[in-house]
Amino acid sequence: MRVRELLSRRRVAVAYLGLALLAALAVGCTDDSVTGVDEAQVPDLAAEELRVWRGGGGVTVMTWNVYVGADLESVLGGAPVADAFEALLAANFPERAKAIARQVARFRPHLIGLQEISRIYTQTPSDDEVFGGDDTPATDEFMDYLKILQGALESRGLDYRVAGEVTNFNVEMPMLTGEDPYNPDDYVDVRLEDWEVVLARGDVEISRVAEGSYYYRVIDPGTGIEFPCGYVAVEAAVGHKAYRFVSTHLQALWEGMEEDLLELQLAQAQELVGLLQGETIPVIVVGDFNSRAAGGEPYERETYNFMLGAGYVDTWTRNLNPFEGEGLTNAQGYFDLTDPTRVFDQRIDFIFARNDIPIGKQPAIGPVIATVVGDAQDDRATPTGLWPSDHAGIVARLHFPRVKASRQ
């Protein structure tokens, strides 16, 4: 069986409209490590688009759901674990990590919010309780997406450090790799940890790290497995300004349970807004909200509308980048990473911002330059032509009225 062969091998190692305004905001700095755009890394950007991104000031942030690579809902529904494991291997995160790192190198964001960072462990033979075992968690590391991505970033000379991380769910199941479904020796336990991670560029000072899981979470009725969602919040000092940066991944609306799970998703968003209510510095919340900005059924937009009603600005709606369109980041249904015809047709990944300290007549949220990455055919820059993820990423440079960094 191919899975057994793979397990026996060495473990995978792995517009001009805004140009005048941008010119006024630029600080005249040409150091690429500060401007956030490396001209040598962006030969695919037109000269006009490159000019939009050059110039200093503000804070540049990125969000990206990097995709575990398999349909976990199908496993919970009874599909063989081996099928999901095969799909995960075919999704080839070590290869995709290089394509993601390429986008980071293009824009050099100060802060990156990452969703679906996975850590996969195995154990042979299985000690699952169904075979009379004691269910000891598998600890043989098979693949660590964070290590792989950091290696891809380092290979480009980029300095990004873990500012905060939190475990969302932790699932372990036996996988049949032999012929006898009643023999524990023919099974391997596979454990998947799902993480939320914030990376900070090396020149960004981090403090006040908060990592947590939302109180409301799904409990699968068939297995009793809990699927919590979480967040990572940090205070980041960029230059002389401080920002509260938060990355999150809210509850997905699983097929057949959409309206029930919407209540959980909304409760998670409400909990997050409550946690951030007392912040007095600009707040930037990024992530996969699993809620549409437009289209679909009304219930699919409720969480998005809640965030707007809570005083958060969808920064894409302030985008001055004349080369961008609707900001679509995801496709309905299963996304085949090898399918060149797949298109992104909904917007569920966001960069929200809130600022309660406007100065004079300046808007609370200043000019925004944003782009979607990983959604174009040229972004399938991998040896086998894989999409970087089933989600596109978003990069945005934000400007806020000047506020002093908080004292510790």
In tens digits, the chain (408 residues) has pLDDT values of 444 444 444 333 323 333 333 333 333 333 333 344 454 455 455 556 666 666 667 899 999 999 998 887 777 666 788 888 898 899 999 999 999 999 999 999 999 999 999 999 998 888 887 776 777 888 899 999 999 999 999 999 999 999 999 999 888 888 888 888 888 888 898 999 999 999 999 999 999 999 999 999 888 777 778 889 999 999 999 988 999 999 999 988 877 677 778 889 999 999 999 999 999 999 999 999 999 999 888 888 999 999 999 999 999 999 988 888 899 999 877 778 999 888 899 999 999 999 976 556 666 888 899 999 999 898 987 889 999 999 999 999 999 876 444 444
Q: What is the dihedral of CA 274, 205, 388, 39, to 10 degrees?
A: 130
Contact indicator for 68, 192 with CB cutoff of 8 Å: yes
Residue 8 has a pLDDT of 43
Residues 6+ positions from 151 with CB-CB distance below 8 Å:
13, 14, 97
Contact indicator for 402, 241 with CB cutoff of 8 Å: yes
Q: What values do phi and psi take at 255, rounded to 5? A: -60, 130
Quickly count helices (H) and strands (E) in the chain: 10, 15
Nearest to 382 by CA among 101, 120, 42, 43: 101
pLDDT by residue (tens digit) across 347-404? 999 999 999 765 566 668 888 999 999 998 989 878 899 999 999 999 999 998 764 4
Domains of the chain: 2-398 (3.60.10.10)
Name the pTM for this structure. Answer: 0.86
